[in-house]
Chains A and B, each alone.
Chain A
Amino acid sequence: MSEQKTVLIIDDDRDFVAAIETLLTHYGYRVATAADGRAGLQEAKRLLPDLILLDIIMSERTEGFFVLQEIRRTAALSNTPVIVVSSIYSDQPIFRISPEAGWLPANLFLPKPVEPARLLEEARRLTGGGGSQATVAGGER
């Protein structure tokens, strides 16, 4: 990796954060973490990370949704790629939420537990190897 990229993980599950932080650090990313939505937004504005991993259900059931809306409203972050990582999303069609649906301006949804290879591939794509942001900000205003 020519230039070290920064990933911000916003998630209230300490163990999940520890596992993903270890993975991303191992593969050369600089990792910052935040355990709730408010701290996450602060860190995002301060660090301007190259990628944000965001959980949806934290202490409030839909905390992540509001964090995401706020990220998109913040000029410096409006184009920052966001991967929503949540156990409410699943690969199975029954819970499939697609970023194209427009109501959640994330670049990608990944179900927990995250498949490491898949996360690394998407992180590489979204943080710069020329990765396009084709699906950003569907119905966002």
Chain B
Amino acid sequence: MPCENARDQRIVVIDDDDVMRLSCRQILQKAGYQVETFGNGHDGIRRIQEARPALLIVDIKMPEVDGFEVIDIVRKIDPDLVIVVITGYATIETAVDAMKAGAYDFLPKPFTPNELRLIIGRGFERWRLTKEAQRLRREKEDVERKFVSLVSHQLKSPLVAVKQYLDVLMCISREQLPETAAEWVHRSQARLGEMLTIIHDWLALSRIGSGSLCDCRAATDLGAVAAAAILEHQQGPGGVEVSFTASIPPDLPLVRGDEVSLRTLVGNLVSNAVKYNRPGGAVSVNAFRAGSQVTLEVSDTGIGIPEAALHRLFDEFYRVKTPETRNIPGTGLGLAICRRIVSELGGTIDVRSREGEGTTFIIHLSLAEKNAGIETQSGECQ
């Protein structure tokens, strides 16, 4: 591909009118552009494919391949190509059609050299801005990737190593440690565990953002995912003692989304319902079909969420700060992850809560396209 700077000046003109080609060439070359002209669509398209100019001027009305067909084909070759249409009939309809087809601007015949220069100048400005925006986006993605890699490897590895030493130390030498030392090591293990969880959650978020998680083509049995999440938390390690009820119809249709993302989503909600509950409290999980969607409700009879906090609940790193939540561990990323997953899968998530009474999270997810149940995906997201 030619270097961007050289492309900056290159124009292809396609027009079956000899006079028009000649005058465009003269005017634009004088203005410092590199101009190539072609008398028919085929030759022009071929040249665009080879030379990748920044800008195309094309006549709408031509024999054989007309301007609309040219636009259609070259858009696929180079979506960034700036197209200016020349139209003999200065009707609004033709111009609108050309813009809809992907043209950037149009020149009604006859036009003055000044009008041509002005529109072409604007077209190149547009092209430069598009390229600049792309460059900045690439740069930003590159920085994000580097940061993810930094966090996932450079930051995580030392934490893992430190925690591994402490884990082994407590396993083989606990008896030889003075009581205070053992207690401090134990606390250090817990704090390191918290940090590793934050890193894990943060990486999960960034993976959702980069599109490497959440497969909309997959179809998953949300009922089975919910049942598994409940089972996991029933058998899970201690914490708050709560009872579970579930209402999940066996014929619940498959929803859009991969199992890994949905497990994370439902797992986070059930885990919250347990964490922010009270001894003797209850967690209920209800799933049902509602039109072209499946609804999943996860309710608890826990401490509830202050109304003022509800609108920030799904923000990254946001945690409700009350005396009751002070000793509940969490990264502030769980619900942010939930919201990202749901939105990637084209669904919605809402919350209803009363302080002191409990909270309900409601998810709506679309039915999977292939609901015959043949192509259910239980595989992994890479």
Q: Which residues of A contact B (CB under 8 A)?
A: 13, 15-16, 18-20, 22-23, 26, 57, 87-88, 90, 92-98, 101, 112-117
Contacts and interface: CB of A to CB of B under 8 A. Distances in A.
Interface string B150-186: 0011001100111111011011100000000000000
Nearest to A27: B172
11 contacts: A15-B162, A19-B164, A22-B168, A22-B172, A87-B156, A87-B160, A94-B261, A96-B260, A113-B164, A114-B167, A115-B167
Contacts of A90: 200
Interface in B225-265: 260-261, 263-264
A86 to B, nearest CB: 10
B380 interface: yes
A95 B153 CA distance: 15
A93 B171 CA distance: 27
B167 A116 contact: yes
Interface of B: 152-153, 156-157, 160-165, 167-168, 170-172, 196, 200, 204, 207, 213, 260-261, 263-264, 267, 379-380
Contacts of B379: 101
A24 B162 CA distance: 18
Nearest to A120: B171
A22 B167 CA distance: 11
- Main SS class of interface, B: helix
Contacts of B165: 15, 18-19
Contacts of B168: 19-20, 22-23, 116
A13 B161 contact: yes
A15 B161 CA distance: 6
Q: Which 9 A-B pairs have the closest CB atoms?
A: A116-B171, A15-B161, A93-B263, A113-B164, A113-B163, A19-B164, A19-B168, A23-B168, A112-B160
Given A101-B379, A115-B167, 9 more contacts: A16-B160, A19-B168, A20-B164, A87-B153, A88-B152, A93-B260, A97-B380, A113-B161, A116-B168
B200 A113 contact: no
A90 B162 CA distance: 17
A42 B296 CA distance: 53
Contacts of B213: 94
A68 B260 CA distance: 25
A19 B263 CA distance: 33
B74 to A, nearest CB: 39
Nearest to B204: A94
B161 A19 contact: yes
Contacts of B267: 93
Contact of B264 (A22, A57, A93, A115): A93
Nearest to A90: B200
Contacts of B261: 94
A92 B200 contact: yes
Nearest to B225: A93
Nearest to B264: A94
B236 to A, nearest CB: 12
A130 to B, nearest CB: 24
Contacts of A20: 164, 168
Contacts of B157: 13, 87
A122 B211 CA distance: 35
A98 B153 contact: no
Given A94-B213, A114-B164, A23 B264 contact: no
A92 B163 CA distance: 18
Contacts of B204: 92, 94-95
B204 to A, nearest CB: 5
A90 B380 CA distance: 13
A8 B323 CA distance: 50
Nearest to A18: B165
A85 to B, nearest CB: 10
Given A101-B380, A113-B167, A92 B153 contact: no
